[in-house]
Amino acid sequence: MNIFRSAAAVLAVAGLMTTAAGNALADYPEKPVKIIVPTDAGGAIDGIARIFQRAFEQDEEFGATVVVTNMPGAGGTLATREIKDADPDGYTIGLWHNGLVTSAAMGVTDFDHTAFDIIGSTGFVALGLGVNAESGPESFEAMLEQAQQEPESIKVAVNIGLPVHFIPLMVSEANGGNMRMVQAGGGAKRLSSVLGGHTHTALFSVQELVKYRESGLKPVVVFSEERVPQLPDVPTTREAGIDVLATDGRIWLAPKGVPEDRMQVLRAAFERAMEQPEVKDQLESYGITPAFIDSDAVTAELSRVRDEVLPLVEKVRAAAN
Amino acid sequence: MLASLGGALLEMLHPVPFFWVALGVVSGIFVGAIPGLSGGMLIVLVMPLTFYMDHTLALILMVGIYVGSVAGGLISATLLRMPGTPSSVVTTFDGYPMARGGQPARALALGISASLFGGFVAGFFLVVLSPPLSRWATSFGPWEYFGLVLMALVLIAAISQGSMVKGLISGALGLLAAMPGLNASDGQLRLTFGFHQMDAGFALLPVLLGVFVVSQIIRDAMDGDKVPEAVDVSRNIVLLEAAAWVRHAWNMLRSALIGTWIGILPGVGASISSMVAYGVARTVSRRPDAFGKGSEEGVVASESANNANVGGALIPLVTMGIPGSPIDAFLLGALLLHNIQPGPLLFQTNGDLVWAIIAAYLVGNVLMFLVMSTTVRFTARLANINPAVLLPAIFVFCIIGAYALSNRLFDVWVMIGFGILGFLLQRAAFPLGAFVIGFVLSPIFEAELRSAVMSSGGTIWELFTRPIALTFIAVAVLVLFLPLLRGLRRRPGDGPDEAGQTRQSKP
């Protein structure tokens, strides 16, 4: 009797242990997962974080609470540093864009995308240039021509040291380095500068280009390989003979050293979320083509951006002084 | 324009927006009535609570507080001779003598009515001037903004309170506090001394909470328990009879126009408006000797002007993104926290929001009149609340608010540090309003100047081809050097004028 009982106990314990061992993988996540967002609540990046927060919480297989923590400041670098320095246990992840690379290039941070375990990307945003519909250049080609004939006569509203500065600068360089970059600030400031006639053009996301059309902004070129469906009449840079391609990624980051099995759980959760129709709809409303892009592709793209940006850093610094 | 306004006014009568504007007005009146608490404090305190609110509702709540607090200040000014808010300092001159002379209800009725009238006159200009002004302001480039901000910085320092030198020093300290962190104009870190926590500099909200709220908490805590005795109103409802409206109509209108105009000037707060209107009313009065001894005209002038100032000060805020007074600097901060870029395009990009702000201002004034007229007896008792009871709760809200901004404890320390700084500045009679304006405007000032220089290829000569910008700079230079010139003409020892004597410790 005693023997039976103890044997049963041993079996029970052993059974518990095997399930415990078996679930060591499946147990992640067993506490809330934190998403650090480098902007205020209410912005485009924050909106995307919250789309996935909802999707994860409804996902029974993931089965954990998700908390969004906003940590704006210093061009997103406060938050990216916080993500980088977090415990690599898979319970702290974050979301940011290509500014990750430009901040490092400008020396604002001492780390770039290689300091993280990249989970993947939930899509890239198409970009383009907009001009003042009334007083601006007729077309992208007309703008390039004017810049060649009269250097510095085309002014570009930028936000120094960020992708919105580097991308038009690449256009200018490809055209012979003849456009003048003028600091304006965030999206609304750049719009105001172009519409007020103080500058000629600025970089916007395709979604912004569509939205600001009625305010008087005219899209003239997109930086994609092919024309974008939202703006079928707008040519690409390549059509105009300028070999500059650019997008803005929505990149999910984890601190370096997260166990591979946990990364797999996260990636699987993203892939499941992106198959949900409402997530697709919501992402499309942010101007994103919904597709989960794996970490190798994201790393390759960010490294490409870094290699493009680094040679231009001195020019960017010089422009400000 | 009328359609947009009408739509916004109708929208304001829906239960949810109406609730928020009414909550703002009532709570504004309450904090206005309690000496030691001001509307500015309450606005900064509720700002973090609105992070997850709809931005329109958040703004109409704050506009409601703004309107309520400026008017609410007249209660304790009249019954206690303690300005509940800084803008009602001038109301104490005649309101309190009237109350002591057995006419507390009369003094309050005059003040409340003048507040409503002043609010409506300014509201008229807010509605009529804002759309064309914002269209005009779209033509403003970096040079124009640079000139405008320079003018605002000098105006606040020069006119705000007594000593211009202290105003300038306070403004310069604000500017210094805005220096560290990532500099948007060249994309580089500045003055962070290698501390990554400093990469974003000192954020607006913790600094405002510190300078305005924590400093006041320290001051009140050090002042100890003081419960003032108020004059009893003896009536439940105070209203002004038609004849008195007619008699004071011209004074109300004149003071309201003064208040509106001074409000439009960037950086100048409601207290200046009431001082100037009071001075003018005394000059043109047939009984100037009665001023300071319980003159009805004095109460009317002060209260009409300070409420009109609120509406006037909203004009540069919604049309150009330049704060017309320190409280508008808080509203500007609130817009930025909600990811809304203030500026001339606000009417185009967020037209509904602008009209909602204007409608909230108008509805807020009516609500203020109704609430004040009927609850003044109760509200007057609030003035007897010992602030010591409220301070611990307020301090807790401050800490939560500072932390919630970026979820960092660093911001809490920043808030406490600036609280101590604010307390010391206040003790030494440096105007805190100038500090805040310096802190808020100097980053805009730097960004616009550097942007302008970049735009003209590294030279400043383009400035001289821009008449509007030049005009602003000329005004700034004039304001800065006029007192010097006058000082040269006047012998030392002539003493400052009336406005210069009425110092107060808060903006």
Phi, psi at residue A218, to the nearest 5°?
A: -115, 120
| Residue pLDDT, tens place only, B449-488 | 999 998 888 888 888 889 999 998 998 888 888 777 766 7
Q: Give pLDDT, residue A310.
A: 94
Dihedral sign from CA coordinates of B338, B341, B344, B345:
negative
Give contacts of A162 with chain B, Cβ < 8 Å.
187
Q: Which candidate in B47, B50, B179, B199 is best for mutational testing of the A interface (most A CBs within 10 A)? A: B199
Q: Give pLDDT, residue A20.
A: 42
Q: Give pLDDT, residue B158.
A: 66
Give alpha helix (H) positions in B407-431: 409-427
Peptide bond preceding B48 in cis form (omega within 30 of 0): no
Cα dist from B322 to A198, B283, B443, whole Å? 19, 32, 12
- Residues contacting A123, CB < 8 A, separation 6+: A249, A250, A283, A288, A289, A290, A291, A293
Q: What is the mean pLDDT of residues A237-255?
A: 94
Q: Give pLDDT, residue B268.
A: 66
Dihedral sign from CA coordinates of B478, B479, B484, B486:
positive
Check CB contact under 8 Å for B341 and A192.
yes
Q: Is B465 on the interface with A (CB under 8 A)?
A: no
Nearest CA in chain B to A44: B339
Give contacts of B343 with chain A, Cβ < 8 Å.
188-189, 192
Q: Give pLDDT, residue B39.
A: 85
Q: Is the model's pLDDT at B36 over the cut of 80?
A: no
Q: Give pLDDT, residue A40.
A: 78
| Residue pLDDT, tens place only, B53-98 | 889 999 999 999 999 998 888 888 888 887 777 778 889 899 999 9
Q: What is the mean pLDDT of residues A41-57?
A: 88
Q: Give pLDDT, residue A65.
A: 92
> Mean pLDDT for chain A?
88
Helix orientation angle between B409-427 and B432-455, rounded to the nearest 10 degrees: 120
| Residue pLDDT, tens place only, A91-149 | 999 999 999 999 999 999 999 999 999 999 998 899 999 999 998 999 999 999 999 99
- Sketch the domain layout of chain A as residue ranges: 31-124+247-311, 126-246
Check CB contact under 8 Å for B199 and A77.
yes
Q: Give pLDDT, residue B178.
A: 93
Cα dist from B328 to B270, B316, B437, whole Å? 11, 9, 10
Name, of A113-117, B135-139, B217-221, B274-278, the range with top average pLDDT.
A113-117
Q: Does residue B59 sit in helix, strand or coil?
A: helix
Of B138, B182, B341, the CB nearest to A75: B182
The answer to whether domain A31-124+247-311 and domain A126-246 are alike in fold is: yes
Q: Give pLDDT, residue A19.
A: 44
Q: Give pLDDT, residue B504.
A: 41
Q: Sorting pLDDT into bands at 50, 70 and 90, what band is A39?
A: confident
The architecture that CATH gives domain A126-246 is: 3-Layer(aba) Sandwich (3.40)
Of A180, A183, A193, the CB nearest to B457: A180
- The closest of B290, B252, B247 to B114, measured between CA atoms, is B252
Q: How many A×B Cβ pairs under 8 Å?
A: 123
CA angle A302, A62, A76 (to 5 degrees): 35
Q: Is the model's pLDDT at B99 over the cut of 50?
A: yes
- Sketch the domain layout of chain B as residue ranges: 2-230+239-501
Give contacts of A81 with chain B, Cβ < 8 Å.
196, 199
Q: Is B351 on the interface with A (CB under 8 A)?
A: no
User: What is the dotted CATH code of the domain comprising A31-124+247-311?
Assistant: 3.40.190.150
Q: Give pLDDT, residue B407.
A: 86
Dihedral sign from CA coordinates of B413, B416, B422, B425:
negative
Give contacts of A197 with chain B, Cβ < 8 Å.
139
